[in-house]
């Protein structure tokens, strides 16, 4: 699968209102073709905005990290599929992943699994009752996701190189924690440049603040797309 460099950049619309998001989308114009809508915007009118973006020919990643009983997951995924979005996240629990994959059927929606949240370390897992280290649990869940037919994984770019052999050559690896050289890291702990993430076999890069908080967001997006294009050749 050869993706267009521009389509590999997903801009996280981590903004408080639809008005703010629409202003950012207008500033970014044709430079950006793929947007991520998370909790903050989804619960502030972001779902109709997602549909509007799809109607305007953009792709949307709905980052809802779903986890519930199978029946509830199935019904939710059916409703999400009707929005026309491209990616939806679920937590990588086998029952949840099975229900999501079954409900998406052969529609265009792609299900991404979150293996272990990147804010978790081994002590957090122990506190949550797991007898695994983070790398062990990430690898175990990636193998389960592959066997269940999950379309992609959300992982740090650092994890991508290790997950590629487990998840296989066609599984999608979607990586946040991207920082162009010289930009602010913010609260991200495990960061990589766009070029390094592509080299580590990431398919899609999720970028928030380096674009939406930039003085010139369009220029920042263009520079990242150029870096992706260069790294992908």
Q: Which residue lies nearer to ligand C5P by CB, 78 or 136?
A: 136
Residues 163-182 that bind ligand C5P (CB under 6 A): 176-177
For residues 49 and 37, the answer to whether their CB atoms sit within 8 Å is yes
135 binds ligand C5P (CB under 6 A): no
Window of 46-54, 91-99, 196-204, 206-214 that interacts with ligand C5P by CB under 6 A: 206-214
For residues 201 and 173, the answer to whether their CB atoms sit within 8 Å is yes
Rounded CA-CA distance 203/199 in Å is: 10
* Structure token pair of residue 82: 């009707």
What is the Cα gyration radius of the chain?
Answer: 17
CB of 197 to ligand C5P, least distance (A): 12
Rounded CA-CA distance 105/134 in Å is: 31
* Structure token pair of residue 172: 């999608």
Q: Which residue lies nearer to ligand C5P by CB, 76 or 176?
A: 176
Considering 58, 65, 218, 223, which one is annotated as catalytic?
Answer: 65
Helix (H, G, I), strand (E, B) or coil at 120: coil
Query: Is 6 one of the annotated active-site residues of the chain?
Result: no
Q: Which residue lies nearer to ligand C5P by CB, 102 or 222?
A: 222
Active site residues: 65
List of residues contacting ligand C5P (CB under 6 A): 12, 14, 38, 117-118, 154, 176-177, 186, 188, 206-210
């Amino acid at each position: 699968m050869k993706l267009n460099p521009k389509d590999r950049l997903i801009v996280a619309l981590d903004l408080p209102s639809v008005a703010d998001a629409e202003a950012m989308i207008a500033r970014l114009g044709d430079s950006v073709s793929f947007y991520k809508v998370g909790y903050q915007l989804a619960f502030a009118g972001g779902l109709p905005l997602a549909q509007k973006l799809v109607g305007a020919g953009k792709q949307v990643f709905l980052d809802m990290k779903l986890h519930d009983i199978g029946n509830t997951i199935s019904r939710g995924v059916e409703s999400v599929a009707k929005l026309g979005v491209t990616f939806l996240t679920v937590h990588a629990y086998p029952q949840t992943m099975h229900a999501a994959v079954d409900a998406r059927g052969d529609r265009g929606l792609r299900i991404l699994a979150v293996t272990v949240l990147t804010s978790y370390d081994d002590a957090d897992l122990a506190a949550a009752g797991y007898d695994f280290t983070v790398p062990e649990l990430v690898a175990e869940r990636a193998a389960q996701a592959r066997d269940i037919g999950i379309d992609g994984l959300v992982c740090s770019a650092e994890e991508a190189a290790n997950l590629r052999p487990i998840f296989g050559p066609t599984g999608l690896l979607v990586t946040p924690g991207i920082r162009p050289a010289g930009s602010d890291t913010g609260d991200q702990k495990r960061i990589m440049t766009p070029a390094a993430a592509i080299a580590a076999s990431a398919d899609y890069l999720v970028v928030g603040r380096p674009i939406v908080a930039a003085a010139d967001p369009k220029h920042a997006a263009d520079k990242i797309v150029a870096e992706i294009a260069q790294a992908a050749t």
